[in-house]
Amino acid sequence: MSESKRDRDRATEAFRRWALLGMPDPETIRRMRYKRAADLLACASVFAALRDRQGRTNAAGEEIVRAVVAIYMQEPWRPLRRGEVGARAMRFALEYPADRSTVFRWLDKARKLWAEFRRDLRP
């Protein structure tokens, strides 16, 4: 598996795991002593950064959050099936005024931001 696919899958799983735990704040994550706490802290940081930017520099921040929640965080207890992310992205693009490729760009931006925060959290 290539590095980019591995990063994509790891970010997707981190978002799903964070949703499964109820999207806890960073302090709660630190107290949990979870094995992959850095992954969860990166998820919380992504959402905080996107929401912080929403009113000031990047109007797409809240849209990215909505896309991640609608596509990655639905039914996080169930494994993703083949083609499910694409189907969810298509459904989201139809419900929300955006093109499917725009939705995938938003997801890519969230994953890249997650990877950036994850690198910063390494011990």
**Average pLDDT of the residues in 34-61:** 73
Which pLDDT value is given to residue 86?
92
Sign of the Cα torsion 73, 2, 109, 43 reads: positive
Q: The whole model's pTM is what?
A: 0.84
Range of the structural domain that residue 71 is part of: 3-120
Domain total of the chain: 1
Closest CA to 50 of 92, 113, 122, 105: 113
Which pLDDT value is given to residue 54?
47
Say which residue, 120 or 77, is predicted with more confidence. Answer: 77
Quick: pLDDT tens for 50-107: 776 544 545 677 888 889 999 999 999 999 999 999 999 999 999 988 899 999 999 9
Radius of gyration of the chain (CA): 14
Q: Helix axis angle, 3-20 relative to 100-120, nearest 10°? A: 90
Confidence of residue 43 (pLDDT cuts 50, 70, 90): confident
- 10 Å CB burial of residue 59 (0-12, 13-18, 19+) is exposed
Residue pair 63/106 in contact (Cβ under 8 Å)? The answer is yes
